Amino acid sequence: MSFQNISWDVADGIGTLTINRPKQLNALDAATLGEIAGALELARVQPGEVRALILTGAGEKAFVAGADIAAMAKLGPAEAREFAALGHRTLNALEALPVVTIAAVNGFALGGGCELAMACDLIYASERARFGQPEVNLGLIPGFGGTQRLIRRVGLMRAKEMIFSGEVYDAATARAAGLCLEVLPPERLLEHARAKARVIASRGPAAVATCKRVMQQGADQLLPQALDAERLAFAGLFGTAETKEGMAAFLEKRPASFTTR
Ligand code: DAK
């Protein structure tokens, strides 16, 4: 599969997806969303090859400055519904990917860019990162899940402040709000994200994927249902080669060798 608007690279089990439209501050149009979906599908269908995925933006200025406003300005209501559906499908696929995803937010993460980061499992930011949902400045509402995912990340009141005001927040404020885990000097951001990815990629891939699924689904469930899901998932791993290997390696005092997902 060839890409024009993103670049996709896999090295040592770590996929890096870079949104690559720096002249438009990596804004998301339909073609770019389609390419992101294509790369996610590659990651999903290549078990073991991609064990963690990093998302970032090309250039020094932006992670993703939002949905492409020039493209959106041409849409009528029916096309807008299709565009929002494409955004939802792509971000839902990202959230459900059976490998851990890490957003390395290197600059503006506004609107659809903030929503893209929030569909990742972990978010690290550079000191240059700026987060916000400025859609109300354009007479829009967040259309790629922001009204819902932001609540789950920062709580209802802070999410309301961010979305109602459309203001842009610096990285330290975003971190204090729980929107990113750590803030790093720009030149250390990718290295930090890769180091975390490598740790995660070295763990039992089926165990990590199962944790992700149960935690992600559990966050939207009542506790008794979520605990049922955990119990079933725990039992489901017994009898797999990975679980046998993990426990055998401990008992034999050797490092575990995990090969498949
Ligand atoms: N879309 C398209 N082009 C963009 C862009 C964007 N979101 N953001 C920046 N650009 C382009 C600029 O137009 C400019 O292009 P040229 O003029 O050079 O051709 C170039 O990138 C550089 O931008 P600036 O010259 O503006 O750079 P500055 O450093 O002065 O400012 C900025 C950087 C990030 C503060 C500024 O560019 C900015 O405010 N950008 C817009 C940010 C924004 O509002 N993002 C939210 C977009 S709305 C829905 C589906 C989806 C959505 C909603 C509904 N449905 C279908 C229901 C999602 C909406 C959004 O994400």
Nearest-CA residue for atom 38 of ligand 1: 65
Query: Is residue 34 domain-shared with residue 68, that is, in the same domain?
Result: yes
Q: Is residue 256 part of a domain?
A: no
Query: pLDDT tens, 138-157?
Result: 999 999 999 999 999 999 99
Query: Is residue 166 domain-shared with residue 189, that is, in the same domain?
Result: yes
Q: Is residue 150 part of a domain?
A: yes
Query: Is residue 135 domain-shared with residue 245, that is, in the same domain?
Result: no
Task: Count structural domains, the chain.
Answer: 2
Residue 47: what pLDDT?
60
Q: Is residue 257 part of a domain?
A: no
Going by pLDDT thresholds of 50, 70 and 90, the confidence category of residue 122 is: very high
> What's the CA-to-centroid distance between 70 and ligand 1, angstroms?
8
Last residue of a domain, one of 159, 185, 201: 201
> What's the CA-to-centroid distance between 32 and ligand 1, angstroms?
15
The two tokens of residue 166 are: 């459309």
Q: Is residue 261 part of a domain?
A: no
Q: Is the pLDDT of residue 261 over 70?
A: no
Q: What are the strands, taking DSSP E only, across the chain? A: 6-11, 14-19, 52-57, 62-64, 100-105, 108-110, 122-126, 130-132, 168-170, 182-184
Phi and psi based region of residue 257 (left: phi greater than 0; alpha: psi -120 to 50; beta: remaining) = beta
Going by pLDDT thresholds of 50, 70 and 90, the confidence category of residue 239 is: confident
187 is catalytic: no
Which whole number is the average pLDDT over 164-191? 98
Rounded to whole angstroms, how far apart are CA atoms 181 and 171?
A: 10
Which whole number is the average pLDDT over 176-201? 98
Residue 121: what pLDDT?
98
Q: Is the pLDDT of residue 17 over 80?
A: yes
> What's the CA-to-centroid distance between 190 and ligand 1, angstroms?
24
Q: Is residue 161 part of a domain?
A: yes
**How high is the mean pLDDT of the chain?**
96
Rounded to whole angstroms, how far apart are CA atoms 218 and 225?
A: 8
- Those residues whose C-beta lies under 8 Å from the C-beta of residue 135, and which sit 6 or more positions away, are 111, 141, 142, 143, 146, 163, 166
Q: 101 with 123: CB under 8 angstroms? A: no
- The residue segments making up the domain with residue 132 are 6-201
115 is catalytic: yes
Query: Is residue 126 domain-shared with residue 90, that is, in the same domain?
Result: yes
Residue 194: what pLDDT?
98
Q: Is residue 260 part of a domain?
A: no
The two tokens of residue 200 are: 């995660």
Q: Is residue 184 part of a domain?
A: yes
Q: Is residue 128 part of a domain?
A: yes
